[in-house]
Amino acid sequence: MVYFKDLFSGRLRIKKAGDQSISDIPSRQRPFGVMVRKEVADHIRSWRFIVLLILIVLTFVGAMYVSISNLKAAVSNENDPDRLFLYLKLLTATDGSLPPFHIFMSFLGALLGISLGFDAINAERNNGTLIRLLAQPVYRDNLLLAKFLSALVIVAVLFLSLSLLMIGGGLIITGVRIEGAEFFRILAFVILTVLYVGFWLSLAILLSVKFRQATTSALTAIGIWLFFTIFYRIIVNMIVRSVFPDPNFMTQEDIVFYNNVILDLLRLAPSQLYTDATTTLLMPSVRSLGPLTMEQMAGAIPSPLSVRESILIVWPQVSGLLAATAVCFALAYFWFMRREIRT
């Protein structure tokens, strides 16, 4: 039998008076902070994250191993204007046995985002914790945002530490000082990767709001991912072959125009945007993502671009990714805010 302690009730009443002052503080951020902290802790403790972590670290180590063993050849290649960017070479050099790290990330980043977000809302709903959580004085959008931000924080920390490890390892192995430009390019690469994962994360959260079963949302997200990585390219090629005229009978200008159209179509896939952007950032001599005409190439010296110029080239890609993320998030928000919460 439980007895109600007078002591306790007395204290309860005193605290009630005290609580008033607490709630008077504009404490909108506070429950949000608590939620983010809890979500981050949940992610870190979950097996899912540990498995993903192992996967990504293995990929990273594999890619590094291949690039280090090819570093000498890559750096001494006289025809490559990027040969002096040692640390960028670490990220991109390969002998063809393994794709470089940034190409790997266009697959794994999606997987990471999906697996961190696919059960964000529906698992809570199925456990009956969602209704309990929303009966607390918290804003609904704070929950969505907390889910999104906590996963993103983890991803950011993961990639930042991996890159710093790489830079540190490179320093020890080669003894070459890192250039400021290289550092900023690597930093931009990390930010871009986090953004890319963020897109898949917001898509996964959107699906977790939409579907009641976590498995359904996971499968749908993986389906979308597969579509964009495998089928989308095939479909675009099929359309191009059947609709576009034969290139043998086209003028130079037409070929350029149609090539641009094809590229634009391909860039509807987020992984294409990511690959384009990372390639530009990690290979300073890439000066355009579309075909260049002879006039444009005339007089150009094959030399690396500055960081600013590279970023200007990838800016459309970055804003595309940002826009896609925002659209997914807004849609999730729209569906979630007025939804009836019921177990």
Partner 1 sequence: MENAIIELEGLTKFYGSLKAVDNLHLRINAGEVFGLLGPNGAGKTTTILMMLGLTEPSGGTARVCGFNATSDPISVKRKVGYMPDSVGFYDGMTAFENLSYIARLNGIPAHDVQHRVQETMELVGLGAAMHKKTGAYSRGMKQRLGLADVLIRQPEVIILDEPTLGIDPTGVKEFLHLIRQLSRQQGITVLLSSHHLHQVQQVCDRVGIFVGGKLLAEGDIHQLSQNLFSEESYLVTITVKDTLPDTTAREATLLQMEAVRKVTASGNTIEISCAENITPRLVRYFVEKGFDIMGVYQKEYGLEEIYQRYFDNNLTENVSHGKSSGLFQRSFFRKTAH
Which residues here bind partner 1, judged by CB under 8 A?
1-2, 4-5, 8-9, 12-13, 15-16, 19, 22-23, 27, 30-31, 34-35, 38, 42, 45-46, 127-129, 131-139, 338, 340-343
Closest to partner 1 by CB, 128 vs 247, is: 128
Tokens of 157: 């920390």
Measured between alpha carbons, how far is 193 from 199 in angstroms, rounded to an integer?
Answer: 10
Tell the smallest beta-carbon distance from residue 153 to partner 1 (Å): 18
Closest to partner 1 by CB, 138 vs 167, is: 138
Tell the smallest beta-carbon distance from residue 47 to partner 1 (Å): 10
Tell the smallest beta-carbon distance from residue 61 to partner 1 (Å): 30
Tell the smallest beta-carbon distance from residue 134 to partner 1 (Å): 6
Tell the smallest beta-carbon distance from residue 17 to partner 1 (Å): 11
Closest to partner 1 by CB, 49 vs 159, is: 49
Q: Nearest CA to 228 among 101, 220, 172?
A: 220
Closest to partner 1 by CB, 131 vs 312, is: 131
Is residue 236 within 8 A of residue 262, CB to CB? The reply is: yes
Measured between alpha carbons, how far is 244 from 230 in angstroms, rounded to an integer?
Answer: 21
Is residue 220 within 8 A of residue 182, CB to CB? The reply is: no
Closest to partner 1 by CB, 1 vs 301, is: 1
The CA–CA distances, whole Å, from 121 to 33, 128, 154, 207 equal: 18, 11, 18, 9
Tell the smallest beta-carbon distance from residue 149 to partner 1 (Å): 16
Closest to partner 1 by CB, 129 vs 288, is: 129
